[in-house]
Amino acid sequence: DQQVKQNSPSLSVQEGRISILNCDYTNSMFDYFLWYKKYPAEGPTFLISISSIKDKNEDGRFTVFLNKSAKHLSLHIVPSQPGDSAVYFCAAREGANSKLTFGKGITLSVRP
Amino acid sequence: DTGVSQNPRHKITKRGQNVTFRCDPISEHNRLYWYRQTLGQGPEFLTYFQNEAQLEKSRLLSDRFSAERPKGSFSTLEIQRTEQGDSAMYLCASSFRKRGPSYEQYFGPGTRLTVT
């Protein structure tokens, strides 16, 4: 059972426009959510996170929104740059249990 | 470089052989995690340590897998009698935990295992 779902396998956007990456989860016990970015042949790189007590967290060009009632979060990248082209993973953690549960990832391509 | 390091980066082995991977976490991090990633999937949790204590193991970690962190610093993951289904990227991550939930996990570059 996939507790963290990234239903779109890929997304292509024009440079300078907004990229919106979506993630849904089924486990209501998840209380902390993270986004990781991964380039080929490298490990995932931490990008941004949000606690379940918040609905928005912003860091530069990256903003994560959390809708707990819908069990949905999204990552907004504004403006998108070609260097943002990578695989993005949504991950979640349950309480004091610190292991992460990941989605399958979404491949973002930013066209110059 | 003070990030998480993993060795080797690539390993090709024949079915039935044993392999061992090493992970060196960020120096002040007291938690260390192992994940496995196969093609088209996100990383899947295998096990984690707080200092030298192994606190949780996934059901994915069969009896052929063993992990150690003898002095609470580096960790090793050994796979005995490898099978073709063990072919994957093995990722190590570390984090620092004070009171309350642990902080974000930082990943190493991974070890890609190919079992022929």
pLDDT tens for each residue of A91-110: 999 876 679 999 999 999 99
Supply the DSSP symbol for A29: T
Please give the Cα distance from A75 to A61 (Å, whole number). Answer: 10
**Model pLDDT, residue A2:** 85
Contact B37, B107 (CB under 8 A): no
Is residue A1's pLDDT more than 90?
A: no
The answer to whether A104 contacts B41, with C-beta atoms less than 8 Å apart, is yes
Question: CA distances (Å), B94 to each of A11, B30, B67, B84, B104, in order?
Answer: 30, 7, 15, 28, 8
Which distant-in-sequence residues (6+ apart) come within 8 Å of A69 by Cβ? none
Please give the Cα distance from B24 to B35 (Å, whole number). Answer: 14
User: Closest-CA residue in chain B for A96?
Assistant: B101
Supply the DSSP symbol for A82: G
Element (H, E) at A109: strand A106-111
Out of B58, B101, B109, the one facing A43 most closely (by C-beta) is B109
Is residue A112's pLDDT more than 60?
A: yes
Question: What is the pLDDT confidence band of residue A11, given thresholds at 50, 70 and 90?
Answer: very high
Please give the Cα distance from B32 to B24 (Å, whole number). Answer: 9
| Closest CA relative to residue A12, chosen from A73, A63, A66, A84 | A84
**Model pLDDT, residue A41:** 82
**Model pLDDT, residue B71:** 86
Q: What is the dihedral of CA A107, A108, A110, B3, to 10 degrees?
A: -90
> Which of A8, A37, A47, A99 would best serve as a mutation to test chain B binding (most B beta carbons within 10 A)?
A99
What percent of chain A stands above pLDDT 70? Answer: 98
Q: Give the CA diameter of chain B.
A: 45
The verdict on B97 touching A (C-beta cutoff 8 Å) is yes
Please give the Cα distance from A28 to A11 (Å, whole number). Answer: 27
**Model pLDDT, residue B65:** 96
Report the 10 Å Cβ neighbour count for B100: 7
- Closest-CA distance, B5 to chain A, in angstroms, reads 10
Q: What is the pLDDT of residues A26-73, one digit of tens each?
A: 999 999 999 999 998 889 999 999 999 999 999 999 999 999 999 999
Report how far Cα A46 is from the mean position of its chain's Cα atoms.
10
User: Closest-CA residue in chain A for B96?
Assistant: A98
Q: Which amino acid is at A5?
A: K
**Model pLDDT, residue A96:** 65
pLDDT tens for chain B, residues 1 to 116: 579 999 999 999 999 999 999 999 998 888 999 999 999 899 999 999 999 999 999 988 889 999 999 988 999 999 999 999 999 999 999 988 765 555 688 999 999 999 99
Tell how strand B10-13 and strand B111-115 pair up. Answer: parallel
Q: Tell me which chain A residues have a C-beta less than 8 angstroms from the C-beta of B90.
A: none
